[in-house]
Amino acid sequence: MKKLINAPETAVDQELAGMVAAHGDLIRVIEPNVVVRVDAPRPGKVGVISGGGSGHEPMHGGYVGMGMLDAACPGAVFTSPVPDQMLAATTAVNGGAGVLHIVKNYTGDIMNFELAAEMARAEGIEVSSVVIADDVAVKDSLYTAGRRGVGGTVLAEKIVGAAAEAGADLATVTALCQKVQDNVRSMGMALTSCTVPAAGKPTFELGEDEMEIGIGIHGEPGRTRMKLATADEITEMLAVPVLDDLPFKQGDSVLAFVNGMGGTPLMELYIVFNKLSQILKGRGVAIGRSFVGNWITSLEMAGCSITLLRLDDELTRFWDAPVKTPALRWGI
Amino acid sequence: MKKLINAPETAVDQELAGMVAAHGDLIRVIEPNVVVRVDAPRPGKVGVISGGGSGHEPMHGGYVGMGMLDAACPGAVFTSPVPDQMLAATTAVNGGAGVLHIVKNYTGDIMNFELAAEMARAEGIEVSSVVIADDVAVKDSLYTAGRRGVGGTVLAEKIVGAAAEAGADLATVTALCQKVQDNVRSMGMALTSCTVPAAGKPTFELGEDEMEIGIGIHGEPGRTRMKLATADEITEMLAVPVLDDLPFKQGDSVLAFVNGMGGTPLMELYIVFNKLSQILKGRGVAIGRSFVGNWITSLEMAGCSITLLRLDDELTRFWDAPVKTPALRWGI
């Protein structure tokens, strides 16, 4: 295993210490391992929280700050955070207007966020939660009952965070998050595995001429393992199931999001975006907004995912709103 | 070779088409392969241009836009662009106030930018150029007489671009670029090789327990090949030569830039940043600004580099100024 770490068991703690050293103007870390916006809690503002296993970078700590998350709960790599983290986060960002939990649909995350919500309610904090389950590849999977939560989560965090920043109440913010979930679909693929530090070896093996279509962000199996194809063919294999699922229709405008799994050069993501833009044009779907880069990774896995979000004026306005976090910053 | 491409010979063209599809509000591409800011030329504004081989992402096309570059000349992967590209870029962004070429110190880039500058001058365009050579690892190397230009280039492009945007004249912008070069130092390392699409196989081989310290951004040899060490040890091996070279002294304030070579997870870059912040503290050097991420890569190489820029009020102000490009955006 070749990694810039000191030891698997210290990796997440030292990552968080490095984030604070680099971005102490935006975030702080409280115990047990919660990344909190420096100015939290903000009185009267709905708190927005997410969390999940580390390694899906820059999730979620990189998205903590003005206009996005109030706190993030990072677990060990590819491992759900514990309820104590989620409770600490909820308490830390509670400004009296309630707290929304944005939860990716993985069994551990769901269970622990539910427990934390109950504990927070017992302390008198109003908590709502929305589950993101946007991956059309498979119905159930290794860690999931129902669809997995993937790229749509990033878009939900940005859009919902902007609404909370603008002063929306808990019911409004919750409904907006559900609206994102209802209008977003994703699918991904991998060219290589990644290596979880504590495991020390690749999560799975792929032949030199093989790829996996519909893979999950933990390397969990997808739809099919097949011979390597061209970028255009792969883009088609991902985009068509995504488009057909909602379905996205002629006249729709979308946020087109091509995400890298971590080990894929930006050049390749733009080659995929190029083909995606042609496919969308062929179906009469307009690209309202674009988003290209490593925004929800699987450590150093090579591969990509495509996420489409059907836009309306409200979603576009909140997507465009100012944001200032370690990973995403604009308008300020 | 596992890559999301259609064919090696179409990769750069399709990448650029994808960039335009995603960021047509910011950039356009003119022939021969030049990425130009949509609103260029801007009358009375000094044009700022850079360029070099593709694969050092998001360089340089990703840095074209308001407050940074007016145009970028992407060559084939790891291959210098040709003088015709640089001349086309110079002509396209000439608003009558002259054009600065920011050149990374590689023999091909130097030679071709010099030729292009001569041709542009023959057309009546005032051209100046500054060579960035910030890599302290080696004196000469495979593609370079003198030090290589690496991470310092990104900082120069941001700072100089801001000054040009603010209306500084060609002499001022040129002197500012030289000031960045005089105050910036870098060094990098690799855990793995990368694969140039046209070559189809890794540029070099490293054993399963080996790393290369002082490597260049094309995988050209560095100072030493040695057994894998911890992140803290590696950070020390990079930071100390950088600090001692300028040298950076007690009381200095720096922009601390930890860069990923493309295939290294963000988690690992923050672990490096954490140790770097301790080393700087131990030497009494303050971190004025931080920059962490994949900002000048070697395709999917695993590894990192450390760049330090000694800050003063002028450099800090231009670093903080608004920027809006495909890859870097803040303040707007």
pLDDT tens digits along B273-315: 999 999 999 999 999 999 999 999 999 999 999 999 999 999 9
d(CA A24, CA A265): 29
Structure confidence at residue A195 as a pLDDT band (50, 70, 90): very high
Q: Looking at the complex, does the CB of residue A57 fall below 8 Å from at least one CB of chain B?
A: yes
Of the partner residues A11, A22, A265, the one whose CB lies closest to the CB of residue B57 = A265
- Does B206 score more than 90 pLDDT? yes
C-alpha distance from residue A261 to each of A55, A223, B6, B101 (Å): 10, 17, 19, 34
DSSP state of A10: G
How confident is the model over A242-254, as a mean pLDDT? 98
d(CA A246, CA A136): 9
d(CA A122, CA A117): 9
d(CA A90, CA A120): 7
Q: Looking at the complex, does the CB of residue B137 fall below 8 Å from at least one CB of chain A?
A: no
**Residue from B194, B252, B256, B242 nearest B214 by CA:** B242
- Are the beta carbons of A4 and B292 separated by less than 8 Å? no
A33 Cα to chain B: minimum distance (Å): 15
For the record, the structure tokens of B233 come out as 């040890």
**Residue from B150, B142, B148, B175 nearest B160 by CA:** B175
Do strands B99-104 and B47-54 pair parallel, antiparallel, or not at all (unpaired)?
A: parallel
Helix H or strand E encompassing A326 = none
Q: What is the pLDDT of residue B3?
A: 98
Q: What is the pLDDT of residue B64?
A: 98
d(CA B45, CA B25): 20
For chain A, the residue count is 332
The answer, as to whether pTM is greater than 0.80, is: yes
Structure confidence at residue A158 as a pLDDT band (50, 70, 90): very high
**How many interchain CB pairs under 8 A, A with B?**
192
Do strands B286-293 and B47-54 pair parallel, antiparallel, or not at all (unpaired)?
A: unpaired
How confident is the model over A293-300, as a mean pLDDT? 98
A83-93 helix and A107-122 helix, angle to the nearest 10 degrees: 50
Per residue, the 3-state secondary structure of A125-165, as one string, reads: CCEEEEEECCECCCCCECCECCCCCCCHHHHHHHHHHHHHH
pLDDT (tens digit, 9 = 90+) per residue, A86-120?
999 999 999 999 999 999 999 999 999 999 999 99
- Does B85 score more than 90 pLDDT? yes
Dihedral sign, CA of A169, A174, A177, A179? negative
Looking at every residue in chain B, the average pLDDT score rounds to: 97
Looking at every residue in chain A, the average pLDDT score rounds to: 97
**Does this chain's domain A12-183+320-330 share its CATH topology with A184-312?**
no
- Does A268 score more than 90 pLDDT? yes
Active-site residue, from B23, B60, B101, B218:
B218
Share above pLDDT 90 across residues of chain A, in percent, rounded to a whole number: 96
Pick the CATH number of A184-312 from 3.30.1180.20, 3.30.43.10, 3.40.50.2300, 3.40.50.80: 3.30.1180.20
pLDDT (tens digit, 9 = 90+) per residue, A15-42?
999 999 999 999 999 999 999 999 999 9
**Residue from B73, B131, B128 nearest B104 by CA:** B131
For the record, the structure tokens of A259 come out as 């995400």
Residues B316 and B326 sit within 8 Å (Cβ to Cβ): no
- Does B145 score more than 90 pLDDT? no
Structure confidence at residue B140 as a pLDDT band (50, 70, 90): confident
**Helices and strands in chain A, H and E counts:** 8, 14
- Are the beta carbons of B228 and A299 separated by less than 8 Å? no
Structure confidence at residue A226 as a pLDDT band (50, 70, 90): very high
How confident is the model over A148-167, as a mean pLDDT? 98
**ipTM score:** 0.98
Give residue A38's identity as a one-letter amino acid code. V
Q: How big is chain A by its Cα radius of gyration, in Å?
A: 19
Q: What is the pLDDT of residue A61?
A: 97
Q: What is the pLDDT of residue A221?
A: 87
How confident is the model over B74-96, as a mean pLDDT? 97
Q: What is the pLDDT of residue B141?
A: 81
How confident is the model over B235-253, as a mean pLDDT? 98
Of the partner residues A2, A23, A268, the one whose CB lies closest to the CB of residue B4 = A268
Q: Which residues of A are marked as active site?
A: 56, 218
Q: Residue B287: closest CA among chain A residues belongs to which residue?
A: A22
Pick the CATH number of B12-183+320-330 from 3.40.50.880, 3.40.50.10440, 1.10.3720.10, 3.10.180.10: 3.40.50.10440
**SS3 call for B215:** coil
pLDDT (tens digit, 9 = 90+) per residue, B7-44?
999 999 999 999 999 999 999 999 999 999 999 999 99
Q: What is the pLDDT of residue B307?
A: 98
d(CA A239, CA A308): 9
* Residue B23 among the catalytic residues: no
Structure confidence at residue A142 as a pLDDT band (50, 70, 90): confident
For the record, the structure tokens of A88 come out as 């600490």
Structural domain boundaries of chain A? 12-183+320-330, 184-312
- Does A143 score more than 90 pLDDT? no
Residues contacting residue B70 through CB under 8 Å, at least 6 positions apart: B36, B37, B40, B41, B42, B45, B47, B48, B49, B64, B89, B93, B99, B164
